[in-house]
Structures are given as structure tokens and as C-alpha cells.
Structure 1
Amino acid sequence: MIDIDQLNATHREIGNRAVASGEGRSLLLRRVYDTSVADMWSACTDPERISRWLGPVEGDLRLGGTYQLKDNAGGEILRCEEPHLLKVTWVLGEGMSTEVEVRLAADGDDRTVFELEHASPAGIVDEMVRAYGPGGTIGIGGGWDLALLGLDRYLRGAPLDPATWEDEPEVREYAKRSCHAWGAVIQQAWGTSDDDIAAAVAFGVQHFAPEPGAGGPGGATG
């Protein structure tokens, strides 16, 4: 069983972070895992282990190399500083090149502070907000929430099939609550109206937790 209260284990924020092309906007997630930095680094960089919580990955997995997650993003490995920092481009489609940085820090001997920051060119974010309202941002954050939940489940040794586990009722409920959590963060940061936030949350829920049989794009990270 998934403890829905895990939702509160993740710190969420949005802000501004420069990307290679200039001004950017970012989403940040932070949580503490009950494992060592060395083990967490392995879980985030070993292709066999990545496939067990995020999805199959192929490519030249070294600094300057490229990677491709099955049915998800691909890109270039920009920084790889074992065992504390990994930075990659995160490309989901033409003109949609963003950057993801993972930072690890020890919290005692057997706990790791895990930070993931997803930064996008300001123009991409602003265009997404014009087209969908804040819902697109909620969708990205919700996708990473599910990925971090999957990572926790994998590290605890719980059964996990990255291709199907998000269809479980309790995971869908987690995804819904995640969308509401990101809605609150966005409203506080941007001063978005209650009506616009409600519409944005509904957009995110439809993306990540549609009612059975209703269809929906799904996907762990957007």
C-alpha cells in the first residue's frame, strides 16, 4: 500500500533559473530518502536500475553522451559529478528542449537529500501558460511527483512495473492530490485566481489520473 501522506514528504517550489538559451523558469522537488548517497547515485545512473523505477533507457551514458527513455524524453548528459550532481537536457519534442538537474547530499550515513530541478526556457513556459493556463506547469510537477514516488517504492523493494503501476487506484489518487499540491504552490507564487487554479488542477488531473475508460495521455514526467 502507498501511504498517501507521502505527498507531504516532498517540498515543491517554482522559481526562475537560467538555462543554456537564457532566462528560464523552474520547478523544484526535494525529499529525503532512506538510503545512502552512493546507493541513490547508482539508482539514478545505472541503466538497469533506472529501468526498474522510471523506464528503459538507452544511449551513450557518459558525460557528453546522449540518452533516450522509452516513450519519454531524451537528451544530452551535460554534467556528471559522482556522486552528487547529474544534469541533462530533457527533450520531449521539437522545440521543447529543457534541462533537468539532480542534486544529492548526505543526511547522516543512510539518508539522502534528493533535489530535482526542471528548468525550461521562459518562452516555452509562457507559451504553455497562454495555451493551457497554469495546468501545463501542474502537469510537469505532477509527473515528477509520480517519478519520485516510484523511486521511493523501488528503493523500499516494493513491486513496481514502470509501464503499469500508475494505473493502480491508490497511485491515481496520489496523482490527483499532487495536482492540488502544485496548484497551491503556483497560486502562492503567481497570485493566480481561484477559478484559474481550479481549472489548472482539473487539467492536470485529466492528464495524470483520468477516470477509468476516459483515456488520457498519461506519462511519468509529462
Structure 2
Amino acid sequence: MSGELFRTAVGSELVVGRTFRGSPEDVWASITEPERTARWFGPWEGNGAPGNTIRVQMVFEEGEPWFDARIEACDPPRRLGLSVLDENGSWRMDLLVSPVADGTRLRLVHHLQNLDAIGEMGPGWEYYLDLLVAAREGTPQPSFDDYYPRLKPYYLGLVDPDGASTGLDQPSV
């Protein structure tokens, strides 16, 4: 489990990360090139430039739904910012790529307006990032059953009984 929860001026941020062997450019390609995202998340179609909306398919979800994602920021190979509208409403996320001593760190930052579904979101993002690990390393794909409901208590424990983040205050991305 790598998830952390931080308070911000406008809500909270769930941050889940992984470290990969390889350069930031290679990790960037894994999260932005349609044929590579198809291996761990799903394919996408459209013009992948800032301000544009693309269609993304979640092939590892029941029914393999498509959703619209607006590209809010694209700073290769460092930051991809998306706003999404799907059956769960609207939400924002950033994918942050940075070099580290032993490879490249990817941090997924899910900007949360409320914490109602953190017990599901946290395990879901852990699962998807491990799908990315498997795609990059050529290892078997994990099963979502290994993440949920097992990780739900951990993520619920990041929220105090009053519904606030137990993480430290930290500025947004």
C-alpha cells in the first residue's frame, strides 16, 4: 500500500505511487501512448493535447466503460492533468513523473471533493498502478480481488471519524 491522504485548501488529495526502472520518458510513454495505456488501463482516442477531450476505455472494469477526459495539463515527461466526467460524477487527477535515484517515480494524485468513496478508490488505484507494473515488467496481471475489500480498511483509516483527512496539510500539485 502506498496511498497517502493530504488536506488541501479545496478538499483532499489521495496520492498513490510506484517506482519503475526506466527513464521518465519511458514511464511517460506508458501513461500517454494509446497502445501502451491499453495494456494496463485501456485504450484512448482523440487528440491528446491540452484543452482537448479524449475518450478513454477502462478495460479492466465490469462492462469496459468509456468515459470522457479533458486534458487540463500536459508537460512531458513530468505532468499529465485530467478532468473526468463518468458515471460517478466529475473528478480531477494528475499523473506526476519524476526521476529518482533508482529509476522513475510515478505519483497518481486524485483530487477529492469528499471522502465518501475513498475505501473503493484507494484499492482501485493500487490495482491500476500494479497493472501498470505488470505491463511494464511482463509479469502476470493482478486480480482486483487481491485489493478489494482487503485494502478498504487501510484507506478508510486515512480519514478521521469527523470525515477529515488524517494526513498533513500539503499544498496541491
How big is the alpha-carbon RMSD for the aligned residues of Structure 1 and Structure 2?
Answer: 2.3
Measured in 1, the distance between the counterparts of 2:107 and 2:119 equals 18
Give the alignment partner of residue 101 of structure 1, picking from 71, 91, 94.
94
Secondary structure at 1:185 match in 2: coil
Give the alignment partner of residue 181 of structure 1, picking from 154, 164, 172.
154
Q: Which blocks of at least 5 consecutive residues in structure 1 are unaligned? A: 1-6, 130-135, 194-222
Measured in 2, the distance between the counterparts of 1:57 and 1:17 equals 30
Measured in 2, the distance between the counterparts of 1:78 and 1:137 equals 23
Instruction: Please list the CA deviations of residues 65-95 of structure 1 after superposition, one character each: whole Å capped at 9, or x if unmatched.
Output: 111222154221011001011101022138x
Q: Which has the larger radius of gyration?
A: 1
Runs of 4+ displaced beyond 6 Å: none
Q: Which blocks of at least 5 consecutive residues in structure 2 are unaligned? A: 58-64, 164-173
Say yes or no: does 1:13 pair with 2:4: yes
Measured in 1, the distance between the counterparts of 2:128 and 2:103 equals 19
Measured in 2, the distance between the counterparts of 1:178 and 1:33 equals 22
Report the CA distance between 1:191 and its aligned residue.
3.6
Structure with larger RCO (C-alpha < 8 A, sep 6+): 2
Task: State TM-score, norm by structure 2.
Answer: 0.79
Measured in 2, the distance between the counterparts of 1:106 and 1:73 equals 30
Q: Identify, as 1 or 2, the structure richer in strand.
A: 2
Say yes or no: does 1:88 pair with 2:82: yes
Q: Identify, as 1 or 2, the structure richer in helix.
A: 1
Task: State TM-score, norm by structure 1.
Answer: 0.63
Conserved in 1, the CA contact under 8 Å of 2:124 and 2:147?
A: no
Matches within 5 A, 1:9-48: 10=2, 12-17=3-8, 23-48=10-35
Of 144-153 and 171-180, the range deviating more from structure 2: 171-180
Secondary structure at 1:176 match in 2: coil
Give the alignment partner of residue 122 of structure 2, picking from 136, 141, 145.
141
Say yes or no: does 1:151 pair with 2:132: yes
From the superposition, tell whether residues 17 and 58 of structure 1 become closer, same or farther in structure 2 (CA, over 3 Å): farther
Instruction: Please list the CA deviations of residues 101-160 of structure 1 after superposition, one character each: whole Å capped at 9, or x if unmatched.
Output: 01111013x61111111113x3xx26xx3xxxxxx2111111111110100111101244
Conserved in 2, the CA contact under 8 Å of 1:28 and 1:118?
A: yes
